[in-house]
Structure formats: structure tokens, C-alpha cells
Amino acid sequence: MEDNGTTESSMTSMDPTEYYYYSEPCVTKMSALNPAVMSALFYLVFALGLFGNCVVLWVLLKVMHLKSMTDVCLLNLALSDLLTVLSLPSWALYNQGHHLGADAVCKAMAGTYHLGFYSGILFVTLMSIDRYLAIVHAVAAMRTRTLRYGVAVSLVIWTISFCAALPEAIFAAMVSEDNTTQCQRIYPAESARTWKLFRNFGENTVGLFISLPITIYCYVRILLVLRKTKNSKRGRAMKLVFAIVSIFVVFWVPYNVAVFLQTLEQLEILQSCEASQQINMALELTETIALVHCCVNPVIYAFVGEKFRKCVAKYLFRIKLYQTTSIHSKASENETSNTPL
């Protein structure tokens, strides 16, 4: 960010900031993580997230063939995570000092990242609602948990996410300063503060004020229902519920709290230079932690699902059976061809 308040780094906290209400310039270019460590983490998340989410997409499209709302939710969550992980190599190169130098690349990096950010949280929330309906209102929700409803809700989520991410792409541009080129948001001078508050409010609304309460409510209700059942798999299901809620809280709540504190700073409620420095470092650290969800989502939402695993097992069994049959067939053909007439 610059001291005129019109530019800001496209990923949350990478540049020095000078706010006009400080008596002296406050430089907040203090990184919580070494750039090399961040780049290595981005590459690792990219590799694991790409593999895991591609496997989920392949199974859903080639093996399970999208038969329910749950399948549609899993498909779109995997697509959302892929959007995020596909932007990570560019950010890793950026952290290493390899600036690609084109505004179009900067806009694509910022837009893709935030489209994945918004859609990812919303599809995780939709998964929570879907499981809540399937367990708490199993009979009543049979008509709503259909493939058609899943597609309709997914289109709404993608539309909302696109609209929320569009300003990030529009205002992103490469800026050259002090012999360095940086991908920053360039806001109009007369409305810079408004756009910053709008962005933070949007992130907090989606991640903190909507998704978190809905997710907690849905899984608390699910736990109450599971406690009353005598199913032998109840214990495993309850552990999975705790894991899902814990992972959501660990990955998303710290980042949203940091964004909320940054909003207080922009509203001049928090005005000390030390607070600004700590908030910037917290944003960088918590945003990096939040990225790891791209690797975790395929595990907790797909691979641990009984239906998902059974479909994969059946498919692998059919392949093994086909290979065994082919080997026996070829052996029989060879024996027949070697038999004298």
C-alpha cells in the first residue's frame, strides 16, 4: 500500500503502509513468514490440492455420475479449490521476486484467488446445510436435495462469488516503485477507503457472519440427532462432525478476525503504528494458513465419505476383475493356438 491510500497489495499484506492519521510514517513491511517458506508452502499446497481435487472430480464425473445434491456440492467445492490452487504458483513466483509484469496476469491472479476464496467458503457452508437436511430432516428434505436444486444453488453461489471477486480483478494492476514491480489494488483516490471497507465487509460477511454461524448451527443439530441414534457408526460420524467444525474454525476464523481488526484500523478505531504492524503480520500468517484448506477439503468432504469410498472401491474392483479376466482370456487363447489339430 502507498501513503496516498489508493493502492494496496492484491494479497492482503505484502507492502508498506502509511496511514494519514499517524504523526510519523508507519512502515508495516514486516513479514511474518520468510518469502522462501511461503513460496515452498504455496507449491506444496498447489501439488497436494491439485492431486486431491482432480481425483475428486474424476470420481464424481466418471464413477459416481452426479446423482444427488451432495455430489453437486462436492463437485463445485473441488472446482472452487482448484481455482485457488491454480493461482498459487503465480503467487509463489511473485514471492520469489519473479514478477510477470503484465496487468492482465495481475488481474487474473487476484480475480482467480478471490473467486476461489468466496466460492470455497460458500460451498463449505452449502455442504453443512446439505448434511443438516439429510440427517435432521431426512424425509422432509427428500424433494429439495435433488440434482436440480443442487445445480440451481450452485449457480447462485458462483454468481455471488463472481460479483464479489470482480472488483479485485478490476482494480488489480502492476505498479513499479523503488525498482520493484508489485501486483497491487489501485483504487480511485476519492473512494479508496470505501472500496477497502467494502472488500473487508464482504469477506467478513461471507466468512464470519454467515458461514460460521450456519456451519456451527447445522453440525450442533446433527450432533444432537446422532446422540439419540443407536447406529454402530454413530461414534465415527460424531468424530467427523467435530473434525469438520474444528477445521473450519482453525482455517477460516483467525483470518476473518484479522480482517475485522483491519476494518477497525481503517475506521480509525485502532490507530497505533504497532497495532497496524501486528495486524499486517497476522493477515499474512492467517491467510497463508487458510490456503491449506484446499488440501484438506477433499479428505474431509469426499474421501472419508462412505458412499464416495464405496464407489471408488467398486470401480477399482471392476478394473481388477477386468484385468484378471483379460489375463485368463489371453492365456486360454494361447493354449488353444498351441493345441495341435
Q: What residues have CB less than 8 Å from 154, skipping those under 6 apart?
A: 72, 73, 76, 123, 126
Q: How many residues does the chain have?
A: 341
Cβ proximity of 18 and 3 under 8 Å: yes
Q: 196: domain CATH number?
A: 1.20.1070.10
Structural domain that includes position 147:
34-308
Q: Is 20 part of any domain?
A: no
* pLDDT (tens place) for every residue of the chain, 341 residues total: 333 444 555 554 334 343 444 456 676 666 667 888 889 999 999 999 999 999 999 999 988 888 889 899 999 999 999 999 998 998 888 777 776 667 888 899 899 989 999 999 999 999 999 999 998 998 888 888 899 999 999 999 999 999 999 999 999 988 877 667 778 889 998 999 999 999 999 999 998 899 999 999 999 999 999 888 877 677 777 788 888 888 888 998 999 999 999 999 989 898 888 888 899 899 989 998 998 899 998 888 877 777 788 888 888 788 777 667 766 666 555 555 554 54
* Beta bridge mates, 7: 186
pTM of this structure: 0.83
Number of domains making up the chain: 1
Cell (9 digits) for 184: 497491487
Q: Is 89 part of any domain?
A: yes
Helical spans, DSSP H, in the chain:
35-58, 69-95, 103-136, 147-171, 192-204, 211-228, 234-266, 273-291, 293-298, 306-338
Q: Is 27 part of any domain?
A: no
C-alpha 63, offset from chain centre = 24
Q: Is 65 part of any domain?
A: yes
C-alpha 74, offset from chain centre = 13
Q: Is 9 part of any domain?
A: no
Distance of alpha carbon 211 from alpha carbon 205, whole angstroms: 8
pLDDT in tens, 174-189: 887 766 777 888 999 8
